[in-house]
Structure 1
Amino acid sequence: MPRAKLIQGSPDEVEAAYYDALARADLEALMALWAEDEEIVCIHPGAVRLIGHVAIRNSWEEILARGGLHIQPRQLHAAHTMTTAVHNVIEDIQHPENARADVHVIATNIYMKTAQGWRIVTHHASVAPGPAPTEPMTETMLH
């Protein structure tokens, strides 16, 4: 199945599309956002490192089989160059029935500019203990 579909937009737009695809449990849309390079990496909270499309797709398929993930990224800290963007966010995860443990998720999403547009090359999410930081909701952009 060819995946060379051109995805227009900035790293910010690809990131918005990523979280939207997760919310809709749209595996095809989600995987279309990843680079075609087999060295892509995904690390889910508390899980092993996954490398390559097959492993990453299989993990997301299993996760999304239970329905969409409603995640709101906030407190973006970003570093951009002409070909790479690194976004670090706090992920607000809407839990069913307001069940909320005293933890928060910190994620790093790395994007690379490819011939097909900006694509995800790494997603690494980790659970951190304690309440999420309450720093201002301003975006920090480093160039």
Structure 2
Amino acid sequence: MPRFARLFEAAADTLNAYYQAIADNSLDSIMSLWIDEEFATCICADGTHLHGLEHIRAGLAKQLEANAVTIEPLDIRVYDSLGTVVYAIAEAHQPANPVDTPRMIFTTYVMVHERGEWRIAHIHASEMPMETAGQFAVKMRHGQGPLH
């Protein structure tokens, strides 16, 4: 069983590398984490649907240019099976410009094990409604966690 534990920890390494690449505003680093297949998809928090690596690259380039952010995962749920890991995460997106308002985002990452490495196959992000974000923040401040 320890072999599988390490296998799934490696998926977390890919997720952490994604967060770092976003913080570094490095499109090449972000794209190096995606599966090498045209079925890759990304649904952005603004509702934009990106299908295929070329469209994902172009869409993320636009977003990085317009809105540099740092992502802080606040609550992480992990669902894993052999060959696939799904992360359901409540995230705080902190803009690089301090005058811009931070956003709370629900993001699902689907990762697949490909040729010995974990790669992103799909991302689905949705902005939290203001009321939900406020309730989430209050629960986190009181140490209750988001689901209590």
- TM class, shorter-length: 0.7 to 0.9
- Residue 59, structure 1, aligned to residue 34, structure 2: no
Q: Which runs of 5+ in 2 are unaligned?
A: 1-8
- Give the structure with the higher percent helix: 2
Q: CA RMSD in A?
A: 2.1
- 2:78 aligns to what SS in structure 1? strand
Question: CA separation of 1:11/1:71 partners in 2, compared to 1, >3 Å: closer, same or farther?
Answer: same
| Greater relative contact order (CA < 8 Å, ≥ 6 in sequence) | 1
Task: Tell me how far 1:98 sits from its aligned partner.
Answer: 5.2
Question: Retained in 2: the 8 A contact 1:75–1:137?
Answer: no
TM-score, with structure 2 as normaliser: 0.78
- 2:73 aligns to what SS in structure 1? strand
Task: Tell me how far 1:73 sits from its aligned partner.
Answer: 1.3
In the alignment, what sits opposite 1:124? 124
TM-score, with structure 1 as normaliser: 0.81
Q: Which runs of 5+ in 1 are unaligned?
A: 1-8, 139-143
Task: Tell me how far 1:61 sits from its aligned partner.
Answer: 1.0
- Residue 31, structure 1, aligned to residue 18, structure 2: no
Task: Tell me how far 1:91 sits from its aligned partner.
Answer: 1.0
Query: Equivalences for 1:1-143 in 2 at 5 Å?
Result: 10-66=10-66, 68-95=68-95, 96-97=97-98, 99-100=100-101, 104-129=104-129, 130=131, 131=133, 133=136, 134-135=139-140, 136=143
Q: How far apart are the structure 1 equivalents of 2:58 and 2:101? A: 27
Question: Retained in 1: the 8 A contact 2:47–2:126?
Answer: no
Question: CA separation of 1:54/1:111 partners in 2, compared to 1, >3 Å: closer, same or farther?
Answer: same
Amino acid of the structure 2 residue aligned with 1:42:
C
